[in-house]
Amino acid sequence: EFKAIIQKLIDSPDNQHEPLTNFIANSFEKPEKWMDSVNPATGKPWIKIPDGSAIEVDAAVAAAKEAFKTVMDIPRCVQNFRDFANAALYTLSTSKILEQPAGKCVNYVKHDPVGVAGLISPWNLPLYLLSFKLAPALVAGNTVVCKPSEMTSVTAWVLMHAFKLVGFPVGVVNMIMGEGKTAGQRLVDHPDVHLISFTGSTVIGKKIQEDSAKMNKKVSLEMGGKNPGIVYANYRKSDIATIARSSFLNQGEICLCTSRLFVQKPIFEEFVKSYVEEAEKFTVGNPTTAVQIGAMNSKIHYEKVKKYIEIAKNEGGNIHCGGVKTILNGCEDGYYIAPTVITGLPDSSQCMTDEIFGPVVCITPFETAEEVIERANSTSYGLSATVWSANTDELLNTANELRAGTVWCNTWLARELSMPFGGCKQSGTGREGLHDSLHFYSDAKTVCVNL
């Protein structure tokens, strides 16, 4: 039945799909209003999704609240559920005896669920990022209302069918689709939502933190980045393809993508040449065909990425390759940008300080480790970084000094779920990962019993 739901989505021609629905108390509910979801590959609407209102958010929160009284894309999504379920067996609960003149007390720690959890996720890697919240929130005993991005809600809607089909208790998992400023904001403001887990942009994350503070909600924020890559002169040349992949995978629309590359002076020219050759190997086109780079997620996002390429040109930057690309056969109105490599910009350029979130990388030379560490740390972000060198001391000394939640040395995007994940500075607050997530989604309570 689950496969049939997915197959129907795949088989129906654009605009002939049944409109999607919210998922409230195990029931797929029609919303008051729908809005178009645009296929970025063609630039045209393909399916209608709910434009969630405060009334619908309230109904979902009420279902989650009621359920809380009685209840406790991707292989990575499955792994999230399995690993959190296993970790829960070993992570929570400790006990200790306290001896005092009046007698012995036994202390134990119980991890209570927090209540109704609001899970707000972004459009990139939509299923993976949602399940990274959903699995620990449920294992810790919370009930949830999910608000996936209005740009990419369809996979979350399919996942809700899985919950329904396996017979999840009514109201434990709910989902409201719609815009951030209405459906998302209502979730943040709702007095019966006790915890907000947000992944998305820094601007929205900071607003959510401010609004949640009014009710002292527990908040976890995974936000934007401007991730540096540091390439020392003795880097392993066989890593060049991985370094390029770290900038361009998924059109550069991964929060962990490298967007500033610092390359040591003696190898700068030679490195740029090899790197451009790698960038030009990426095939760009209709994502339903065998290509490596598809369309930018939306028109707004496409315009934003184009704007940064224009800024680079106006500031005298040297554009080695990339830029806007036209794709034929029905994709003429799609939002395509080829891997773009820029040199010659100062660290103060907006292209070097702002999150672009597209297949655009700026490369700049450096001389010493001390200098590059200071420059790499100079933006307001601190999500991730990469260091490339054949010398272990150089790798570790640099990694130790970088202000980032994750530093990859001679690799990129190798993720181990039990490790803490999150950002420093304006990239985030809190950490996700097996132990960190289970602690975030629960409230530790110490019980002291006089024996």
Q: Where are the beta strands (DSSP E) in 200-325?
A: 218-222, 227-231, 258-264, 318-324
296 binds ligand NAD (CB under 6 A): no
As measured in angstroms, the least distance from the Cβ of 70 to ligand NAD is 28
- Determine contact, residues 64/147, Cβ cutoff 8 Å: no
Among 23, 46, 84, 123, binds ligand NAD (CB under 6 A): 123
Of these residues, 222, 253, 278, 394, which one is catalytic?
222
Nearest C-alpha neighbor of 106 from the set 114, 115, 116, 97: 97
Neighbouring C-alpha atoms within 13 Å toward the C-beta of 190? 30
222 binds ligand NAD (CB under 6 A): yes
For residue 430, report the phi and psi dihedrals to the nearest 5 degrees.
90, 170
56 binds ligand NAD (CB under 6 A): no
As measured in angstroms, the least distance from the Cβ of 256 to ligand NAD is 7
24 binds ligand NAD (CB under 6 A): no
SS3 content of the chain, % helix, strand, coil (to 5): 35, 25, 35
40 binds ligand NAD (CB under 6 A): no
- Determine contact, residues 311/51, Cβ cutoff 8 Å: no
3-state secondary structure of 434: helix
As measured in angstroms, the least distance from the Cβ of 19 to ligand NAD is 19
Among 139, 156, 177, 204, binds ligand NAD (CB under 6 A): 204
Active site residue 222: yes
327 binds ligand NAD (CB under 6 A): no
252 binds ligand NAD (CB under 6 A): no
Among 181, 236, 237, 307, binds ligand NAD (CB under 6 A): 181
- Determine contact, residues 230/391, Cβ cutoff 8 Å: no
Positions in 184-203 near ligand NAD (CB under 6 A): 184-185, 188, 199-201
As measured in angstroms, the least distance from the Cβ of 106 to ligand NAD is 40
Q: C-alpha 372: how far from its chain's center? A: 27
126 binds ligand NAD (CB under 6 A): no
359 binds ligand NAD (CB under 6 A): no
Q: C-alpha 173: how far from its chain's center? A: 20
Max CA-CA distance within the chain? 84
3-state secondary structure of 138: helix
3-state secondary structure of 260: strand
As measured in angstroms, the least distance from the Cβ of 281 to ligand NAD is 25
**Binding positions for ligand NAD, rule: CB under 6 A:** 120-124, 129, 147, 149-150, 179-181, 184-185, 188, 199-201, 204, 207-208, 222-225, 255, 355, 357, 383, 423, 428
Catalytic site positions: 222
